[in-house]
Amino acid sequence: MRTLPTRTILASALLALSINAAAAGAVTLVQAGHLLDRPGHPQRGASTLVIRDGKVAEVLDGYAGVERYAGATIVNLRDRFVLPGLIDSHVHLTSDRAGIEGQLAGVTDSVAAAAYEAQMNAGKTLQAGFTTVRNLGDGNGVTLALRDAIARGWVQGPRIIDAGMPISATSGHMDGRLGYADWVQHGVPTANLCDGPESCRKAVRVQIGRGVDVIKIATTGGVNSVVGAGVGKQMFDDEAKSLIEAAHLYGKKVAVHAHGAGGINLALAVGADSIEHGTLLDEEGVKLFLKSGAYYVPTLSTINGYKERIANNPDAYPPAVRAKIDWRIGITGKALRQAHSRGIRIAFGTDAGVSKHGRNADEFELMVQFGMTPAEAIKSATVNAADLLGISAVAGTLEAGKGADLIAVAANPLADVTALKKVDFVMKSGQVVKSRH
């Protein structure tokens, strides 16, 4: 085998470094026919986004910058409406199989299979225009690993803010043993279950040690949990308080699964950062939301998943779950109307996994149906969601210094929000990941 001279190796290394340096400083000019760079503010007309090193360097009026940035890559979206990459504050990437099918998969699929499924669902989500998601729970660390793999550039997917294992009381909504025979239950992890303040503090610390970004807890029962105990409060006050205090001690926000008013109000009173679902919001809850500044994440499109599965198979869910699903379908939208009319802060979240991955934008149509304007719904999935997730410095708007996460659609979503169901261009961190060409 021939050995290259040291001088040749050094020259080759210097050339590679110079090429990489040039690539790192390369400029892309995104020419937009219409631009909503800051949702909540008026849209702009013809505009140019100057992209360098994965970030927005400038936002220019008109189709400018070509002469100043000679040799720049031009992305022609002059016939498109451009806006920031969307953010879904509530997903479960590991699966969108549910009911009895999902329960069976939980004890037959390997962790490796779950990892591939999560990657597939992450890809669907990114292609749909959602460049950031908050994954609110899985049982085996798959999405924590996927989060890191995406950040390292190993695989393609949205930025992930991950909660690890969601926490509840024993026999609460997050108890993965529910619905299985006793002999199966012995193999189900229980580190996410707690009873009493000390136990609950430890449950938070276990997730902190796994490297989570956010803590998720459940103060009430859930629609999909295989137990007929309803959706009311299922956690004592001191347990919820200890969970949230422990999370905040480590600088982590807390997302709280809560349907019943008792669980909603308890969580808000002890410092929850967001309430997920919030189905039975009452007047006390409204006042607590307004006092605390917490976000409401409605997750309306869960009902789409329920309806589709039941249409395909009326026996898709066990009877105890089906009864709760029928209730949820009938009441969906009531809490959003109340929250919106009273000025509660709202962040976009779908609970994808209950609904289908890649169809996250269906939520926009329901948000508008139940009282929000298209502009408000879009802001909830950009500015508001970025604030909730603590990533406003890098996402939510297209401004100098922020990440170059952007999407394009053919029609104006401020006039017809369903345009967001047909995203045909996606850029994440300055890299084109979907193009109509």
Residue 46 has pLDDT above 80, yes or no: yes
Is 50 exceeded by the pLDDT of residue 170?
yes
Q: Is the pLDDT score of 53 beyond 70?
A: yes
pLDDT band at 18 (very low <50, low <70, confident <90, very high): very low
Q: How confident is the model at residue 48 (pLDDT cuts 50, 70, 90)?
A: very high
Give the CA count within 13 Å in the CB-facing half-sphere of 346. Answer: 32
Residues facing residue 295 across a β-bridge: 274, 345
- Summarize the confidence of residues 253-272 as an average pLDDT: 98
Pair (156, 222) in one structural domain? yes
CA 46-51-53 angle, 5° bins: 175
CA distance 11 to 4: 11
Shared-domain flag, residues 210 and 284: yes
Q: Is the pLDDT of residue 84 over 80?
A: yes
**Distance in angstroms (rounded) separating the CA atoms of residues 397 and 307:** 34
184 and 276 both lie in a single domain: yes
| Same domain as 286, residue 142 | yes
Flag whether pLDDT at 4 surpasses 60.
no
- For the segment 400-429, what is each residue's pLDDT rounded down to a tens digit? 999 999 999 999 999 999 999 999 999 999
Asked whether residue 377 is assigned to any structural domain, the reply reads yes
| Averaged pLDDT, 116-136 | 97
Mean pLDDT of 379-406: 98
Total length of the chain: 437
From 60-74, 168-182, 280-294, the region with the lowest mean pLDDT:
168-182
- Does 331 reside within a domain? yes
> Same domain, yes or no, for 39 and 28?
yes
**Average pLDDT of 111-137?**
96
* pLDDT mean over 337-356: 97
* pLDDT tens-digit readout, 91-121: 999 988 887 787 778 778 889 999 999 999 9
On whether the CB atoms of residues 219 and 234 are closer than 8 A, the answer is yes
Whose structure tokens read 């190796």? Answer: 9
Is 328 among the domain residues? yes
Report the distance separating Cα 323 and Cα 354, nearest Å: 16
> How far is Cα 188 from Cα 191, in angstroms, rounded to an integer?
10
Same domain for 168 and 135, yes or no, is yes
Same domain, 330 and 284: yes
Q: Please, which pLDDT band fits residue 184 given cuts at 50, 70 and 90?
A: confident
Same domain for 59 and 119, yes or no, is no
pLDDT for residue 182: 78
Residues 219 and 308 in one domain: yes
Q: Do 186 and 331 reside in the same domain of the chain? A: yes
Say yes or no: 78 and 102 in one domain: no
Greater pLDDT, 259 or 230: 259
| 275-296: average pLDDT | 98
Structure confidence at residue 187 as a pLDDT band (50, 70, 90): confident
Considering only residues 337 and 185, tell me which one the structure prediction assigns the higher pLDDT.
337
What's the CATH code of the domain at 419? 2.30.40.10
DSSP string, 348-404: ----BTTB-TT-TTHHHHHHHHTT--HHHHHHHTTHHHHHHHT-TTTSSS--TTSB-
Q: Where are the alpha helices (DSSP H) in 131-221?
A: 142-151, 182-185, 197-209
**Beta strands 55-61 and 215-218: pairing type?**
unpaired
Residue 205 in domain: yes
The predicted model gives 264-273 an average pLDDT of: 98
Residue 436 predicted with pLDDT over 50:
yes
In a domain, 184, yes or no: yes
pLDDT class of 16 with cuts at 50, 70, 90 = very low
Q: pLDDT grade, residue 24 (50/70/90)?
A: low
**What are the tens digits of pLDDT across the range 231-244?**
999 999 999 999 99
Given the structure tokens 């009311």, which residue do they identify?
232
Question: Same structural domain for residues 255 and 332?
Answer: yes
Judge whether 211 lies within some domain: yes
- Kindly indicate the confidence band of residue 8, based on its pLDDT and cuts at 50, 70 and 90: very low
Residue 296 β-bridge partners: 275, 346
pTM, entire model: 0.92
Q: What is the mean pLDDT of the chain?
A: 92
Closest CA to 204 of 266, 251, 141: 251
> With 80 as the cut, is the pLDDT of residue 312 above it?
yes
CATH code at 194? 3.20.20.140
Tell me if 6 is assigned to some domain: no
Domain residues for the domain of 58 are 23-85+397-434
Beta-bridge partner residues of 180: none
The pLDDT-based confidence of 21 (bands split at 50, 70, 90) is very low
pLDDT greater than 60 at residue 17 = no
pLDDT band at 181 (very low <50, low <70, confident <90, very high): confident
Assess if residue 13 is contained within a domain. Answer: no
Number of domains in the chain: 2
